[in-house]
Amino acid sequence: MGMKFQIRNACWLGDDAWFHHGTISIANGRIMKLESDFASDTPSAGEFIVPGLIDAHVHLREPGQPYKEGIANGTLAALKGGVTTVLNMPNNVPPTASLARLEAKRALFAQKSRVNYGLFLQARIGGPRAPESAAGVKIYMAKSSALAAVRDPAALAQIFRLQNRVVVHAEDEREFSTGWKKSFHRVEKTGEIFHSVEKSFPQCGKLPHHLRRPRAAVVAALQSIATAWRRVPPKERPRLVIAHCSTVEEIDWVRKMKRQGHDVWAETCPHYFLFTEQDDRARGPALQVNPPLRTEEDRAAVFAAVQDGGIDFISTDHAPHLPKEKAADSPPSGIAGLEWFGPVLLTLTMRGEISWQRYLKLAGQKAAQCYGIEGRGLVREGAWADLAIVANKPPAAAQEKIVTRAAVHPYPQFEFAVGIRATLVNGRLAWTDGRVRPGVHGREVYG
Ligand code: NCD
Ligand code: ZN
Protein backbone atom coordinates (compact mmCIF):
# COMPACT_ATOMS: atom_id res chain seq x y z
CA MET A 1 0.00 0.00 0.00
CA GLY A 2 0.97 3.60 -0.18
CA MET A 3 2.50 2.93 -3.58
CA LYS A 4 3.22 5.81 -5.87
CA PHE A 5 3.91 5.43 -9.55
CA GLN A 6 3.41 7.07 -12.92
CA ILE A 7 2.26 5.81 -16.28
CA ARG A 8 4.19 7.92 -18.81
CA ASN A 9 3.47 8.27 -22.52
CA ALA A 10 -0.04 7.14 -21.72
CA CYS A 11 -3.11 7.65 -23.85
CA TRP A 12 -6.30 7.64 -21.80
CA LEU A 13 -9.98 8.22 -22.41
CA GLY A 14 -10.75 11.24 -20.26
CA ASP A 15 -14.06 12.21 -18.67
CA ASP A 16 -14.55 14.66 -21.57
CA ALA A 17 -14.52 11.69 -24.00
CA TRP A 18 -11.26 12.91 -25.56
CA PHE A 19 -8.13 10.82 -25.69
CA HIS A 20 -5.42 12.52 -23.68
CA HIS A 21 -1.72 11.91 -24.15
CA GLY A 22 0.56 12.44 -21.19
CA THR A 23 1.25 11.17 -17.68
CA ILE A 24 -1.01 9.52 -15.12
CA SER A 25 0.22 9.71 -11.50
CA ILE A 26 -1.19 7.18 -9.08
CA ALA A 27 -0.84 7.13 -5.29
CA ASN A 28 -2.64 5.18 -2.59
CA GLY A 29 -4.86 3.50 -5.14
CA ARG A 30 -6.12 6.74 -6.63
CA ILE A 31 -5.39 8.93 -9.62
CA MET A 32 -3.52 11.86 -8.10
CA LYS A 33 -2.68 13.78 -11.22
CA LEU A 34 -3.45 13.76 -14.93
CA GLU A 35 -1.01 15.72 -17.08
CA SER A 36 -2.34 15.98 -20.61
CA ASP A 37 0.10 17.20 -23.26
CA PHE A 38 -2.43 17.04 -26.05
CA ALA A 39 -5.78 15.45 -26.85
CA SER A 40 -7.28 13.71 -29.86
CA ASP A 41 -10.72 12.38 -30.67
CA THR A 42 -9.50 8.88 -31.47
CA PRO A 43 -7.20 6.62 -29.48
CA SER A 44 -3.56 6.23 -30.39
CA ALA A 45 -2.65 3.30 -32.60
CA GLY A 46 -0.92 1.26 -29.89
CA GLU A 47 -2.36 0.85 -26.45
CA PHE A 48 -4.79 3.10 -24.67
CA ILE A 49 -6.37 3.26 -21.25
CA VAL A 50 -10.06 3.36 -20.42
CA PRO A 51 -11.84 3.43 -17.07
CA GLY A 52 -12.26 -0.08 -15.65
CA LEU A 53 -15.76 -1.15 -16.60
CA ILE A 54 -18.59 -1.49 -14.11
CA ASP A 55 -20.80 -4.54 -14.60
CA ALA A 56 -23.90 -3.88 -12.54
CA HIS A 57 -25.47 -7.32 -13.05
CA VAL A 58 -23.56 -10.55 -12.49
CA HIS A 59 -24.40 -13.91 -10.94
CA LEU A 60 -21.31 -15.19 -9.14
CA ARG A 61 -22.78 -18.18 -7.44
CA GLU A 62 -21.12 -18.14 -4.09
CA PRO A 63 -22.34 -19.07 -1.59
CA GLY A 64 -24.26 -22.13 -2.74
CA GLN A 65 -23.11 -23.12 -6.20
CA PRO A 66 -19.40 -22.35 -6.45
CA TYR A 67 -19.01 -25.26 -8.89
CA LYS A 68 -20.86 -23.12 -11.45
CA GLU A 69 -18.73 -20.03 -10.77
CA GLY A 70 -17.34 -18.80 -7.51
CA ILE A 71 -16.14 -15.34 -6.56
CA ALA A 72 -12.45 -15.92 -7.28
CA ASN A 73 -13.00 -17.37 -10.75
CA GLY A 74 -15.84 -15.00 -11.68
CA THR A 75 -13.81 -11.96 -10.76
CA LEU A 76 -10.87 -13.36 -12.73
CA ALA A 77 -13.18 -13.40 -15.77
CA ALA A 78 -14.03 -9.79 -14.89
CA LEU A 79 -10.35 -8.79 -14.97
CA LYS A 80 -9.95 -10.37 -18.40
CA GLY A 81 -12.91 -8.29 -19.59
CA GLY A 82 -11.49 -5.04 -18.24
CA VAL A 83 -14.16 -5.01 -15.52
CA THR A 84 -13.04 -3.57 -12.17
CA THR A 85 -16.38 -3.44 -10.36
CA VAL A 86 -19.24 -5.95 -10.25
CA LEU A 87 -22.63 -5.78 -8.59
CA ASN A 88 -23.70 -9.27 -7.64
CA MET A 89 -27.25 -10.62 -7.80
CA PRO A 90 -28.96 -12.35 -4.86
CA ASN A 91 -30.45 -15.53 -6.39
CA ASN A 92 -27.97 -17.71 -4.55
CA VAL A 93 -28.66 -21.02 -2.87
CA PRO A 94 -29.94 -20.04 -0.35
CA PRO A 95 -31.11 -16.65 -1.66
CA THR A 96 -29.58 -13.48 -0.23
CA ALA A 97 -32.84 -12.28 1.23
CA SER A 98 -31.94 -11.51 4.86
CA LEU A 99 -29.44 -9.13 6.41
CA ALA A 100 -27.58 -12.07 7.95
CA ARG A 101 -27.12 -13.69 4.55
CA LEU A 102 -26.07 -10.38 3.04
CA GLU A 103 -23.40 -10.05 5.75
CA ALA A 104 -22.19 -13.60 5.19
CA LYS A 105 -21.88 -12.93 1.46
CA ARG A 106 -20.03 -9.67 2.08
CA ALA A 107 -17.52 -11.57 4.18
CA LEU A 108 -16.96 -14.02 1.31
CA PHE A 109 -16.43 -11.22 -1.22
CA ALA A 110 -14.04 -9.46 1.16
CA GLN A 111 -11.99 -12.66 1.31
CA LYS A 112 -12.04 -13.53 -2.37
CA SER A 113 -12.93 -10.75 -4.78
CA ARG A 114 -10.27 -9.64 -7.24
CA VAL A 115 -12.40 -6.66 -8.27
CA ASN A 116 -14.51 -4.09 -6.45
CA TYR A 117 -18.01 -5.19 -5.59
CA GLY A 118 -21.45 -4.35 -4.32
CA LEU A 119 -24.26 -6.74 -3.44
CA PHE A 120 -28.00 -6.85 -3.99
CA LEU A 121 -30.56 -8.15 -1.51
CA GLN A 122 -33.45 -10.21 -2.88
CA ALA A 123 -36.78 -8.50 -2.25
CA ARG A 124 -39.55 -10.47 -0.58
CA ILE A 125 -42.76 -9.53 1.13
CA GLY A 126 -41.97 -8.75 4.75
CA GLY A 127 -38.26 -8.64 3.94
CA PRO A 128 -35.88 -6.01 5.33
CA ARG A 129 -34.97 -2.68 3.80
CA ALA A 130 -31.66 -2.88 1.96
CA PRO A 131 -28.95 -1.26 4.10
CA GLU A 132 -26.76 1.60 2.81
CA SER A 133 -24.05 -0.96 2.24
CA ALA A 134 -26.09 -2.75 -0.46
CA ALA A 135 -26.59 -1.80 -4.10
CA GLY A 136 -30.34 -2.17 -3.63
CA VAL A 137 -32.96 -4.89 -3.91
CA LYS A 138 -33.70 -7.18 -6.82
CA ILE A 139 -37.28 -8.10 -7.58
CA TYR A 140 -37.84 -11.32 -9.51
CA MET A 141 -41.26 -11.38 -11.18
CA ALA A 142 -40.36 -14.87 -12.40
CA LYS A 143 -39.07 -17.44 -9.91
CA SER A 144 -35.28 -17.50 -9.86
CA SER A 145 -34.37 -18.89 -6.44
CA ALA A 146 -36.00 -20.80 -3.62
CA LEU A 147 -38.19 -17.76 -2.94
CA ALA A 148 -41.55 -17.16 -4.59
CA ALA A 149 -41.64 -14.53 -7.33
CA VAL A 150 -43.05 -11.08 -6.49
CA ARG A 151 -45.61 -10.20 -9.18
CA ASP A 152 -48.72 -8.51 -7.82
CA PRO A 153 -49.08 -4.75 -7.86
CA ALA A 154 -49.84 -4.76 -4.11
CA ALA A 155 -46.63 -6.65 -3.34
CA LEU A 156 -44.60 -4.52 -5.73
CA ALA A 157 -46.02 -1.34 -4.19
CA GLN A 158 -45.08 -2.53 -0.71
CA ILE A 159 -41.50 -3.08 -1.81
CA PHE A 160 -41.39 0.23 -3.70
CA ARG A 161 -42.47 2.05 -0.52
CA LEU A 162 -39.83 0.44 1.63
CA GLN A 163 -36.77 0.53 -0.65
CA ASN A 164 -34.57 3.21 -2.18
CA ARG A 165 -33.15 1.36 -5.16
CA VAL A 166 -35.00 -1.43 -6.90
CA VAL A 167 -33.93 -3.43 -9.95
CA VAL A 168 -36.59 -5.61 -11.45
CA HIS A 169 -36.57 -8.67 -13.69
CA ALA A 170 -39.72 -7.76 -15.63
CA GLU A 171 -41.24 -11.03 -16.81
CA ASP A 172 -44.49 -12.08 -15.11
CA GLU A 173 -44.18 -15.86 -14.78
CA ARG A 174 -47.95 -16.34 -14.84
CA GLU A 175 -47.76 -15.79 -18.57
CA PHE A 176 -45.25 -18.58 -19.04
CA SER A 177 -46.69 -21.94 -18.26
CA THR A 178 -50.24 -21.12 -19.33
CA GLY A 179 -49.09 -19.59 -22.60
CA TRP A 180 -46.75 -22.46 -23.13
CA LYS A 181 -49.26 -25.16 -22.21
CA LYS A 182 -51.93 -23.56 -24.36
CA SER A 183 -49.75 -23.50 -27.44
CA PHE A 184 -48.38 -26.91 -26.63
CA HIS A 185 -51.81 -28.48 -26.37
CA ARG A 186 -52.90 -26.76 -29.53
CA VAL A 187 -49.80 -28.17 -31.11
CA GLU A 188 -50.65 -31.68 -29.92
CA LYS A 189 -54.24 -31.49 -31.11
CA THR A 190 -53.92 -30.00 -34.55
CA GLY A 191 -51.63 -31.75 -36.92
CA GLU A 192 -51.27 -28.68 -39.06
CA ILE A 193 -49.82 -26.44 -36.39
CA PHE A 194 -47.71 -29.28 -35.10
CA HIS A 195 -46.36 -29.76 -38.57
CA SER A 196 -45.36 -26.13 -38.91
CA VAL A 197 -43.80 -26.00 -35.46
CA GLU A 198 -41.98 -29.23 -36.05
CA LYS A 199 -40.68 -27.97 -39.37
CA SER A 200 -39.38 -24.80 -37.80
CA PHE A 201 -37.91 -26.41 -34.70
CA PRO A 202 -37.18 -30.01 -35.53
CA GLN A 203 -34.36 -30.38 -33.05
CA CYS A 204 -36.35 -29.33 -29.98
CA GLY A 205 -39.60 -31.19 -30.33
CA LYS A 206 -40.96 -28.45 -28.10
CA LEU A 207 -41.55 -24.74 -28.32
CA PRO A 208 -38.52 -22.52 -28.46
CA HIS A 209 -37.53 -20.55 -25.41
CA HIS A 210 -38.91 -17.20 -26.57
CA LEU A 211 -42.37 -18.76 -26.97
CA ARG A 212 -42.25 -20.57 -23.66
CA ARG A 213 -41.54 -17.18 -22.09
CA PRO A 214 -43.60 -15.02 -24.44
CA ARG A 215 -43.54 -11.26 -24.84
CA ALA A 216 -46.91 -11.20 -23.02
CA ALA A 217 -44.96 -11.90 -19.81
CA VAL A 218 -42.98 -8.68 -20.26
CA VAL A 219 -46.10 -6.68 -21.10
CA ALA A 220 -47.94 -8.03 -18.04
CA ALA A 221 -44.95 -7.26 -15.82
CA LEU A 222 -44.74 -3.66 -17.07
CA GLN A 223 -48.45 -3.22 -16.41
CA SER A 224 -48.14 -4.41 -12.82
CA ILE A 225 -45.06 -2.25 -12.26
CA ALA A 226 -46.91 0.80 -13.63
CA THR A 227 -49.93 0.09 -11.42
CA ALA A 228 -47.77 -0.31 -8.34
CA TRP A 229 -45.83 2.86 -9.20
CA ARG A 230 -49.07 4.88 -9.38
CA ARG A 231 -50.22 3.54 -6.02
CA VAL A 232 -47.11 4.77 -4.23
CA PRO A 233 -46.96 8.52 -3.45
CA PRO A 234 -44.18 10.16 -5.53
CA LYS A 235 -42.07 10.96 -2.46
CA GLU A 236 -42.03 7.34 -1.35
CA ARG A 237 -41.05 5.88 -4.71
CA PRO A 238 -37.63 4.29 -5.12
CA ARG A 239 -35.21 4.60 -8.00
CA LEU A 240 -36.37 1.89 -10.40
CA VAL A 241 -34.15 0.01 -12.84
CA ILE A 242 -35.62 -2.22 -15.53
CA ALA A 243 -33.02 -4.98 -15.79
CA HIS A 244 -31.86 -6.47 -19.10
CA CYS A 245 -34.33 -4.68 -21.42
CA SER A 246 -34.94 -6.92 -24.41
CA THR A 247 -38.14 -5.67 -26.04
CA VAL A 248 -39.57 -2.63 -27.84
CA GLU A 249 -42.17 -2.48 -25.06
CA GLU A 250 -39.60 -2.00 -22.26
CA ILE A 251 -37.65 0.57 -24.25
CA ASP A 252 -40.82 2.56 -25.00
CA TRP A 253 -42.04 2.35 -21.42
CA VAL A 254 -38.78 3.56 -19.90
CA ARG A 255 -38.56 6.39 -22.46
CA LYS A 256 -42.07 7.49 -21.49
CA MET A 257 -41.33 7.34 -17.78
CA LYS A 258 -38.11 9.33 -18.23
CA ARG A 259 -39.95 11.97 -20.27
CA GLN A 260 -42.44 12.31 -17.43
CA GLY A 261 -39.60 12.86 -15.00
CA HIS A 262 -39.70 9.56 -13.12
CA ASP A 263 -36.55 8.11 -11.58
CA VAL A 264 -36.61 5.11 -13.92
CA TRP A 265 -33.48 3.64 -15.54
CA ALA A 266 -32.87 1.08 -18.22
CA GLU A 267 -30.21 -1.63 -18.39
CA THR A 268 -29.54 -3.99 -21.27
CA CYS A 269 -26.94 -6.65 -22.08
CA PRO A 270 -24.82 -7.21 -25.21
CA HIS A 271 -26.81 -10.30 -26.23
CA TYR A 272 -29.99 -8.26 -26.61
CA PHE A 273 -28.48 -6.04 -29.28
CA LEU A 274 -26.15 -8.60 -30.90
CA PHE A 275 -28.56 -11.54 -31.25
CA THR A 276 -32.17 -12.45 -31.97
CA GLU A 277 -34.39 -15.48 -31.42
CA GLN A 278 -33.02 -16.83 -34.72
CA ASP A 279 -29.57 -17.05 -33.16
CA ASP A 280 -31.09 -18.73 -30.13
CA ARG A 281 -32.65 -21.30 -32.40
CA ALA A 282 -29.42 -21.80 -34.31
CA ARG A 283 -27.14 -22.08 -31.28
CA GLY A 284 -29.48 -23.84 -28.88
CA PRO A 285 -28.85 -23.81 -25.12
CA ALA A 286 -25.73 -21.62 -25.38
CA LEU A 287 -27.92 -18.58 -26.05
CA GLN A 288 -30.88 -19.66 -23.93
CA VAL A 289 -31.26 -16.81 -21.51
CA ASN A 290 -33.89 -15.06 -19.40
CA PRO A 291 -35.44 -12.91 -20.64
CA PRO A 292 -35.20 -14.66 -24.02
CA LEU A 293 -33.66 -13.18 -27.15
CA ARG A 294 -36.39 -11.64 -29.30
CA THR A 295 -37.05 -10.34 -32.81
CA GLU A 296 -34.94 -8.21 -35.12
CA GLU A 297 -37.28 -5.32 -34.40
CA ASP A 298 -36.63 -5.67 -30.66
CA ARG A 299 -32.90 -5.99 -31.20
CA ALA A 300 -32.84 -2.85 -33.35
CA ALA A 301 -34.91 -0.90 -30.80
CA VAL A 302 -32.56 -1.93 -27.99
CA PHE A 303 -29.50 -0.89 -29.99
CA ALA A 304 -31.07 2.42 -31.01
CA ALA A 305 -31.65 3.07 -27.30
CA VAL A 306 -28.04 2.12 -26.54
CA GLN A 307 -26.95 4.74 -29.06
CA ASP A 308 -29.32 7.55 -28.09
CA GLY A 309 -29.54 7.25 -24.31
CA GLY A 310 -32.82 5.36 -23.99
CA ILE A 311 -30.65 2.70 -22.33
CA ASP A 312 -28.63 4.07 -19.42
CA PHE A 313 -26.02 1.36 -19.00
CA ILE A 314 -24.99 -2.05 -20.22
CA SER A 315 -24.34 -5.07 -17.98
CA THR A 316 -23.52 -8.66 -18.84
CA ASP A 317 -26.04 -10.58 -16.68
CA HIS A 318 -23.14 -13.03 -16.43
CA ALA A 319 -25.11 -16.20 -15.61
CA PRO A 320 -22.77 -19.19 -15.80
CA HIS A 321 -23.93 -22.81 -15.94
CA LEU A 322 -21.65 -25.79 -16.53
CA PRO A 323 -21.47 -27.25 -20.06
CA LYS A 324 -22.99 -30.51 -18.83
CA GLU A 325 -25.93 -28.61 -17.32
CA LYS A 326 -26.43 -26.74 -20.60
CA ALA A 327 -26.37 -30.08 -22.44
CA ALA A 328 -29.23 -31.55 -20.38
CA ASP A 329 -32.78 -32.01 -21.61
CA SER A 330 -34.11 -28.91 -19.88
CA PRO A 331 -31.04 -26.71 -19.81
CA PRO A 332 -30.84 -23.78 -17.39
CA SER A 333 -30.90 -20.25 -18.83
CA GLY A 334 -27.97 -17.88 -18.79
CA ILE A 335 -25.12 -16.45 -20.86
CA ALA A 336 -21.68 -15.92 -19.29
CA GLY A 337 -20.19 -12.90 -21.07
CA LEU A 338 -18.20 -11.14 -18.35
CA GLU A 339 -14.73 -11.77 -19.81
CA TRP A 340 -15.66 -10.21 -23.16
CA PHE A 341 -17.53 -7.20 -21.77
CA GLY A 342 -14.86 -4.58 -22.40
CA PRO A 343 -13.76 -5.93 -25.80
CA VAL A 344 -17.37 -6.08 -27.08
CA LEU A 345 -18.28 -2.52 -26.06
CA LEU A 346 -14.91 -1.10 -27.13
CA THR A 347 -15.09 -2.80 -30.54
CA LEU A 348 -18.55 -1.37 -31.22
CA THR A 349 -17.27 2.05 -30.24
CA MET A 350 -14.13 1.78 -32.34
CA ARG A 351 -16.32 0.84 -35.30
CA GLY A 352 -18.21 4.10 -34.77
CA GLU A 353 -21.49 2.43 -33.81
CA ILE A 354 -21.38 4.02 -30.35
CA SER A 355 -19.82 7.44 -29.65
CA TRP A 356 -17.04 7.67 -27.05
CA GLN A 357 -19.29 9.91 -25.01
CA ARG A 358 -21.98 7.24 -24.95
CA TYR A 359 -19.36 4.56 -24.31
CA LEU A 360 -18.32 6.24 -21.07
CA LYS A 361 -21.91 6.36 -19.86
CA LEU A 362 -22.79 2.82 -20.93
CA ALA A 363 -19.64 1.13 -19.61
CA GLY A 364 -19.62 2.54 -16.10
CA GLN A 365 -20.45 6.19 -15.50
CA LYS A 366 -24.23 5.72 -15.48
CA ALA A 367 -24.16 2.49 -13.48
CA ALA A 368 -22.05 4.31 -10.89
CA GLN A 369 -24.51 7.20 -10.79
CA CYS A 370 -27.52 4.90 -10.64
CA TYR A 371 -26.21 2.74 -7.80
CA GLY A 372 -24.36 5.41 -5.84
CA ILE A 373 -20.84 4.14 -6.54
CA GLU A 374 -18.39 6.94 -5.79
CA GLY A 375 -15.06 7.62 -7.43
CA ARG A 376 -15.30 4.97 -10.12
CA GLY A 377 -16.27 4.78 -13.79
CA LEU A 378 -14.17 7.69 -15.10
CA VAL A 379 -10.51 8.52 -15.42
CA ARG A 380 -10.26 11.74 -13.43
CA GLU A 381 -8.13 13.19 -10.67
CA GLY A 382 -9.18 11.90 -7.26
CA ALA A 383 -10.94 8.82 -8.64
CA TRP A 384 -9.81 5.29 -7.81
CA ALA A 385 -7.22 4.03 -10.26
CA ASP A 386 -9.46 1.37 -11.82
CA LEU A 387 -8.03 1.13 -15.31
CA ALA A 388 -8.18 -1.20 -18.31
CA ILE A 389 -5.30 -1.13 -20.76
CA VAL A 390 -6.62 -1.84 -24.22
CA ALA A 391 -4.52 -3.33 -27.02
CA ASN A 392 -5.29 -3.59 -30.71
CA LYS A 393 -4.32 -7.22 -30.71
CA PRO A 394 -7.43 -9.22 -29.90
CA PRO A 395 -7.12 -12.94 -29.27
CA ALA A 396 -8.79 -15.10 -31.94
CA ALA A 397 -11.93 -16.64 -30.46
CA ALA A 398 -10.82 -20.15 -31.39
CA GLN A 399 -7.47 -19.86 -29.61
CA GLU A 400 -8.72 -18.05 -26.57
CA LYS A 401 -8.37 -19.59 -23.14
CA ILE A 402 -11.83 -19.21 -21.64
CA VAL A 403 -11.88 -18.31 -17.96
CA THR A 404 -15.51 -18.73 -16.99
CA ARG A 405 -16.57 -22.18 -15.88
CA ALA A 406 -19.46 -21.89 -18.35
CA ALA A 407 -16.64 -22.57 -20.87
CA VAL A 408 -18.57 -21.24 -23.86
CA HIS A 409 -17.72 -18.23 -26.02
CA PRO A 410 -21.03 -16.40 -26.52
CA TYR A 411 -19.70 -14.29 -29.42
CA PRO A 412 -17.59 -16.62 -31.58
CA GLN A 413 -18.51 -14.78 -34.80
CA PHE A 414 -17.97 -11.28 -33.44
CA GLU A 415 -14.93 -9.60 -34.94
CA PHE A 416 -13.11 -8.11 -32.01
CA ALA A 417 -11.04 -5.03 -32.81
CA VAL A 418 -9.36 -4.96 -29.39
CA GLY A 419 -8.55 -7.01 -26.33
CA ILE A 420 -7.68 -6.12 -22.74
CA ARG A 421 -3.95 -6.31 -22.09
CA ALA A 422 -3.95 -5.41 -18.42
CA THR A 423 -6.34 -4.41 -15.68
CA LEU A 424 -5.58 -2.28 -12.62
CA VAL A 425 -7.84 -2.37 -9.58
CA ASN A 426 -7.43 0.36 -6.98
CA GLY A 427 -4.04 1.21 -8.48
CA ARG A 428 -2.75 -2.34 -8.41
CA LEU A 429 -1.96 -4.41 -11.46
CA ALA A 430 -4.32 -7.36 -11.06
CA TRP A 431 -4.14 -9.02 -14.47
CA THR A 432 -1.72 -8.68 -17.34
CA ASP A 433 -1.07 -10.51 -20.61
CA GLY A 434 -3.36 -13.36 -19.66
CA ARG A 435 -1.87 -13.82 -16.21
CA VAL A 436 -3.50 -13.00 -12.92
CA ARG A 437 -1.65 -11.45 -10.01
CA PRO A 438 -2.94 -13.57 -7.14
CA GLY A 439 -4.62 -11.76 -4.33
CA VAL A 440 -7.65 -9.78 -3.30
CA HIS A 441 -7.60 -6.47 -5.08
CA GLY A 442 -11.19 -5.43 -4.71
CA ARG A 443 -13.01 -3.51 -2.03
CA GLU A 444 -16.66 -2.97 -1.36
CA VAL A 445 -17.91 0.09 -3.23
CA TYR A 446 -20.19 1.17 -0.37
CA GLY A 447 -19.16 2.53 3.00
C1 NCD B 1 -30.25 -16.16 -14.31
C2 NCD B 1 -29.35 -17.12 -13.56
O3 NCD B 1 -28.93 -18.13 -14.13
O4 NCD B 1 -29.05 -16.83 -12.40
N5 NCD B 1 -30.39 -16.62 -15.66
C6 NCD B 1 -30.59 -15.86 -16.76
O7 NCD B 1 -30.86 -16.42 -17.83
N8 NCD B 1 -30.53 -14.54 -16.70
C9 NCD B 1 -31.53 -16.14 -13.56
C10 NCD B 1 -32.66 -15.45 -14.21
O11 NCD B 1 -32.64 -14.23 -14.28
O12 NCD B 1 -33.61 -16.13 -14.63
ZN1 ZN C 1 -29.64 -11.77 -14.04
What's the pLDDT tens digit per position in 237-291?
Answer: 999 999 999 999 999 999 999 999 999 999 999 999 999 999 999 998 999 999 9
Q: What is the mean pLDDT of residues 17-38?
A: 98
- What number does the ligand 1 atom closest to the CA of 321 have? 3
Band (pLDDT 50/70/90 cuts) for residue 199 is very low
Name the more confident of 440 and 422. 422
Helix axes 174-189, 215-231, angle to 10 degrees: 150
Whether residue 198 is predicted with pLDDT greater than 90 in this model: the reply is no
Pocket test for ligand 1, best of 59, 139, 271, 335 (most atoms within 8 A of CB): 59
Whether residue 384 is predicted with pLDDT greater than 50 in this model: the reply is yes
Check residue 46 and give its pLDDT.
87
Check residue 397 and give its pLDDT.
74
Ligand 2 centroid, distance to 383 Cα (angstroms): 28
User: Is CATH 2.30.40.10 what the domain over 4-49+379-395+404-436 is classified as, yes or no?
Assistant: yes
Nearest CA to ligand 1 atom 2: 319
User: Contact, 31 vs 385, CB < 8 A?
Assistant: yes
The CA angle 80-86-89, to the nearest 5 degrees, is 125
Check residue 2 and give its pLDDT.
61
Domain residue spans of the chain: 4-49+379-395+404-436, 52-371
pLDDT per residue as tens digits for the range 391-434:
987 777 778 899 999 999 999 999 999 999 999 999 999 999 89
Name the more confident of 184 and 338. 338
Ligand 2 centroid, distance to 140 Cα (angstroms): 9
Residue 199 backbone phi and psi in degrees, to 5: -65, -40
Give the bridge partners for 420, in sequence order. Answer: 390
Q: What percent of the chain has pLDDT over 70?
A: 93
Work out the mean pLDDT of the chain and round it to a whole number. 93
Q: How far apart are the first and last CA of the chain?
A: 20
Q: What is the mean pLDDT of residues 148-157?
A: 97
Whether residue 180 is predicted with pLDDT greater than 90 in this model: the reply is no
- What number does the ligand 1 atom closest to the CA of 169 have? 11
- What number does the ligand 1 atom closest to the CA of 61 have? 4
Whether residue 117 is predicted with pLDDT greater than 50 in this model: the reply is yes
Residue 12 backbone phi and psi in degrees, to 5: -130, 150
Q: What is the mean pLDDT of residues 93-109?
A: 98
Check residue 178 and give its pLDDT.
53
Check residue 439 and give its pLDDT.
86
Q: What percent of the chain has pLDDT over 90?
A: 88
Band (pLDDT 50/70/90 cuts) for residue 177 is low
Please, what CATH class does the domain formed by 52-371 belong to? alpha beta
Name the more confident of 309 and 438. 309
Ligand 1 environment, Cβ below 6 A: 59, 91, 144, 169, 289-290, 317, 319, 332-334
Q: What is the mean pLDDT of residues 161-183?
A: 83
